[in-house]
Amino acid sequence: MAGNGEEPRYFLIWFILFVLTMAEVGYAFLALPQWLLATGLILMALWKALLVAIYYMHLKWEPKRLWILAASPLPLAVILVIAVLTEF
């Protein structure tokens, strides 16, 4: 939870999320190679997802071991996708 005398800037994060969403929409229709578009869009989406997790879900103020717990499914998710991909 939020604490330690640090005031979370919820509306600043909201503004960054808004700008990133607009940037994503604009970027998606640029005349760029598909791989470059996909990479840029995924990076922006991950940035937004991290902002939500860190500030709105208050991971920033949680014990480090909860960070580890929260990150634990990520390698499993990669393994799942790769496993299905190889079977396809």
Partner 1 sequence: MSQPAASTADRHPMPGMMVYNVKLGMWIFLLSEVMFFTALIGSYIILRFAHPDHFAEPGAVLNVPLTAFNTFVLICSSVSMVKAYAAITQGDQKGLKFWLLVTILLGTFFVGVQVYEYIILAQEGFVPMAELYGVAHEIEGAALYGATFYTMTGFHGTHVTIGILCMWFVLYRAWQGKYSADNYGGVEIMGLYWHFVDLVWIILFTIVYLI
Nearest-approach distance from CB 4 to partner 1, in angstroms: 13
CA distance to 10, 43, 46, per residue, from 27 (Å): 25, 12, 15
Nearest residue (CB) to partner 1, 5 versus 63 = 63
Nearest-approach distance from CB 60 to partner 1, in angstroms: 12
Nearest-approach distance from CB 70 to partner 1, in angstroms: 7
User: At which residue do the structure tokens 């979370």 appear?
Assistant: 8
Q: Are the beta carbons of 20 and 47 closer than 8 angstroms? A: yes
Q: Are the beta carbons of 51 and 17 closer than 8 angstroms? A: yes
For partner 1, the binding residues (CB under 8 A) are: 1-2, 8, 10-11, 13-14, 17-18, 21-22, 24-25, 28-29, 37-38, 41-42, 44-45, 48-49, 52-53, 55-57, 62-63, 65-66, 69-70, 72-74, 76-77, 80-81, 84-85, 88
How many angstroms separate the CA atoms of 51 and 46, rounded?
9
